[in-house]
A and B are shown apart, each in its own frame.
Chain A
Amino acid sequence: MVDLPAGQLVPPVRPEFEHRALDSGQIGAVTRPLSLWERLANNSAARRAAILIVLAAAWELYARWLDNGLMVPTFTETMQALWAATVDGTLPGRVYISLKVLLIGYGAGIALAAMFTTLAVSTRIGTDLLSTLTAMFNPLPAIALLPLAMLWFGLGIPSLVFVIIHSVLWAVALNTHTGFLSVSETLRMVGQNYGLSGVRYVMRILIPAAFPSILSGLKIGWAFSWRTLIAAELVFGVSSRSGGLGWFIYENRNQLETASVFAGLTTVIIIGLVVESVVFRTLETHTVRRWGMLR
């Protein structure tokens, strides 16, 4: 130990040195391509596919062990039912009806949300109106309005569209409005600096800047409306012979065609997944991810 006055540490003085950077040849490969296995492990689609395969296998094994097709049909039986219903055209028809109703409701919901948000950004009373309405209706499950809708609009598409609008509207309006509010002051000033105002300002600055929020609103709205639609369809078909997917599930349960019930549920899941991971994902990669607004 060096002798130091108590409490006064002094760093030792060391000799100085300088040297040239090492020749990088000695370090070994500075970059190397990843192996196939490493790439697969990095691919989230591959990882998820692996999980799906494991789940399907577990389902198959459990159903075979249980051996009760009325309660739990096997994975292969379900796939067969799915295939049969797809080939004979019943399932695609039902899907088409469901999606048609859904798109009408979803589109109308977004249009109304745009209207509310415009009102909310342009006036203070509009802001209050939007926040009050969203606070009231957001916690109310859209399906709870179905009895009322049936009373007002009868059994049919209008009732379904009504509940779907209700499920989309508040989520989208709330998210869009929050997104607009969170656009940074700098970006706002940049837009005004360029002489943008009114609709041009909203279209060219506010909407793109708030796009991450708007997109997540659209996603939430989509999930809500899809669930609401299937639930509502379980209650009634659109008309006597042309129900949607929910009605397909309900009918098959009544006929104790459990494999077809599973096939219907699988279809609901597949459509949900496709929209989520193909439509929205593509939209995301080409917009907010590309812009670095979302990682």
Chain B
Amino acid sequence: MDWQEARQPKGILARPPRLAYKAGEPDDGPVGGARRSGRSMDEAAIIHRPDGAPPGVRPLLAVDGVTLQYKTREHLVTATYRVSFEVYPADRFVLLGPSGCGKSTLLKGVAGFMKPVEGSISLAGRRVDRPGPDRMMVFQEFDQLLPWKTVAQNVMFPMLTSGKYGRAEAAERAAAYIDKVNLTKFRDAFPHMLSGGMKQRVAIARAMAMEPAILLMDEPFASLDALTRRKMQEELLRLWDDIRFTVLFVTHSIEEAIIVGSRILVLSPHPGRVKAELNSHEFGHAEQEGARFVELSRRIHAMLFAERIEDERAPTAEPGHG
């Protein structure tokens, strides 16, 4: 038991469960409250610094002490151990960690594909117990589009099957969102005719057209080439500026986390535990060369790197654990 506590960053487990706002150490600044639709990031930054809990704003997604396990043929693998975090409306919340830190599993937990063995996940106060269209997911794989449907039909599909929108409204919304991702020319094309980047854009349009409570993105740009990836990141940020959706974004790239995210949850590997929660709302592509960007990037790098050294040392240094 002691090893888990020893490794948990302060202030995250220490907080009483189900409390809406973090008591927060100064470093661990509160987030999101003011970043509701319509407000600029700067304003948000001013408003929510530095006093702790944003008054009157409840978290949209509360992940509370979640342990997730899955079975392989031979092992029961603990993917995440007692992970807690809160996502506020209009957050661009990033789960960052090396491979094997359970970040994708955590996202699947939020999506409802996996049930936590311990802890709870709730969205807008309702417990998540199954997959549903209020948590639209964008996957890493290009084959997430239904190959038997055109771009427009793909975007309309969840709107129609969930019964959230009528046919005419779904068509209208699909057209609008396809336009937002600049694919109007390809609305009648089948997925196999599109490039990887285009497919991901369709998947994003499909997810956003549903106006889900929260958008879940599982390394959506990881299979793209560097140039396309950068364009897609810019496009996502532009869309966020436009619509102010809430997104939970998984990545293993520190750079992508800082650029795309407004807040970053750093996870340690095997099993995934919370290492830190950091703010990155001030950084976009423009700041990429800046000293503060580089410093934050180094800081995260050191965190992930330190974990590795700690892991290697662990058996001798802490004989009691494991």
A-side interface residues toward B, CB under 8 Å?
184, 186-187, 189-190, 192-196, 200, 204-205, 208-209, 211, 287, 290-293
A204-B143 contact given A193-B111, A195-B131, A291-B190, CB 8 Å threshold: no
1/0 contact trace for B190-216 toward A, CB 8 Å?
A: 111100000000000000000000000
Residues of A within 8 A of B161 (CB): 194-196, 200, 204
In the complex, B136 has a CB within 8 A of chain A: yes
A189-B193 contact given A194-B157, A195-B161, CB 8 Å threshold: no
What's the Cα separation between A195 and B159 when bound, in Å? Answer: 11
What's the Cα separation between A211 and B146 when bound, in Å? Answer: 12
- Structural contact, A186 and B192, CB atoms closer than 8 A: no
- Chain B at the A interface: mostly helix, strand, loop or mixed? mixed
A287-B131 contact given A186-B141, A193-B136, A195-B161, CB 8 Å threshold: no
Which residue of B is nearest A293, CB measured?
Answer: B147
What's the Cα separation between A291 and B113 when bound, in Å? Answer: 28
CB distance from B272 to the nearest CB of A (A): 20
In the complex, B132 has a CB within 8 A of chain A: yes
In the complex, B158 has a CB within 8 A of chain A: yes
Q: Which of B136, B148, B190 gathers the greatest number of chain A CB atoms within 10 Å?
A: B148
Residues of B within 8 A of A189 (CB): 108, 111, 113, 131, 137, 139
What's the Cα separation between A118 and B25 when bound, in Å? Answer: 56
- Structural contact, A186 and B139, CB atoms closer than 8 A: yes
Which residue of A is nearest B216, CB measured?
Answer: A193
- Structural contact, A186 and B191, CB atoms closer than 8 A: no
Q: Which of A184, A187, A192, A193 gathers the greatest number of chain B CB atoms within 10 Å?
A: A193
A193-B141 contact given A290-B190, A292-B190, A292-B193, CB 8 Å threshold: no
CB distance from A285 to the nearest CB of B (A): 13
Residues of A within 8 A of B146 (CB): 187, 190, 205, 208-209
CB distance from B252 to the nearest CB of A (A): 18
- Structural contact, B148 and A211, CB atoms closer than 8 A: yes
What's the Cα separation between A32 and B192 when bound, in Å? Answer: 26
Q: A189-B113, A189-B137, A192-B113 are in contact. List 19 more A-B contacts (CB 8 A).
A: A184-B141, A187-B144, A189-B108, A189-B131, A189-B139, A193-B132, A193-B133, A193-B135, A194-B158, A194-B161, A194-B162, A195-B131, A196-B161, A200-B161, A205-B146, A209-B146, A290-B190, A291-B192, A292-B192
- Chain A at the B interface: mostly helix, strand, loop or mixed? helix
* Residues of chain B in range 125-168 having any CB-CB distance to chain A below 8 Å: 131-133, 135-137, 139, 141, 143-144, 146-148, 157-158, 161-162
B-side interface residues toward A, CB under 8 Å?
108, 111, 113, 131-133, 135-137, 139, 141, 143-144, 146-148, 157-158, 161-162, 190-193
What's the Cα separation between A293 and B191 when bound, in Å? Answer: 10
- Structural contact, B148 and A208, CB atoms closer than 8 A: yes
What's the Cα separation between A186 and B140 when bound, in Å? Answer: 9
- Structural contact, B191 and A292, CB atoms closer than 8 A: yes
Sorted nearest first, the 7 A-B pairs with minimum C-beta distance are A292-B192, A192-B131, A186-B141, A194-B158, A208-B148, A291-B147, A291-B148
What's the Cα separation between A209 and B149 when bound, in Å? Answer: 11
Residues of B within 8 A of A190 (CB): 137, 139, 144, 146
Across the A-B interface, how many residue pairs have beta carbons closer than 8 Å?
A: 63
Which residue of B is nearest A185, CB measured?
Answer: B141
CB distance from A175 to the nearest CB of B (A): 18
- Structural contact, B190 and A186, CB atoms closer than 8 A: no
Residues of B within 8 A of A186 (CB): 139, 141, 143-144
What's the Cα separation between A205 and B143 when bound, in Å? Answer: 13
Q: What are 23 contact pairs spanning A and B, CB under 8 A?
A: A184-B141, A186-B139, A187-B143, A187-B146, A189-B108, A189-B111, A189-B113, A189-B137, A190-B144, A193-B133, A193-B135, A193-B136, A193-B137, A193-B158, A194-B133, A200-B161, A204-B161, A205-B146, A209-B146, A211-B148, A291-B147, A291-B190, A293-B148
What's the Cα separation between A291 and B108 when bound, in Å? Answer: 28
- Structural contact, B143 and A195, CB atoms closer than 8 A: no
What's the Cα separation between A204 and B139 when bound, in Å? Answer: 19
Residues of B within 8 A of A187 (CB): 143-144, 146
Q: Which of A184, A189, A204, A290 gathers the greatest number of chain B CB atoms within 10 Å?
A: A189
What's the Cα separation between A187 and B141 when bound, in Å? Answer: 10
Which residue of B is nearest A207, CB measured?
Answer: B148
Q: Which of A189, A190, A192, A293 gathers the greatest number of chain B CB atoms within 10 Å?
A: A190
What's the Cα separation between A154 and B136 when bound, in Å? Answer: 59
- Structural contact, B143 and A184, CB atoms closer than 8 A: yes
A287-B148 contact given A189-B137, A192-B131, A204-B161, CB 8 Å threshold: yes
CB distance from B123 to the nearest CB of A (A): 14
Residues of A within 8 A of B137 (CB): 189-190, 193
- Structural contact, B148 and A193, CB atoms closer than 8 A: no
Residues of B within 8 A of A196 (CB): 161
Residues of A within 8 A of B144 (CB): 186-187, 190
Residues of B within 8 A of A204 (CB): 161
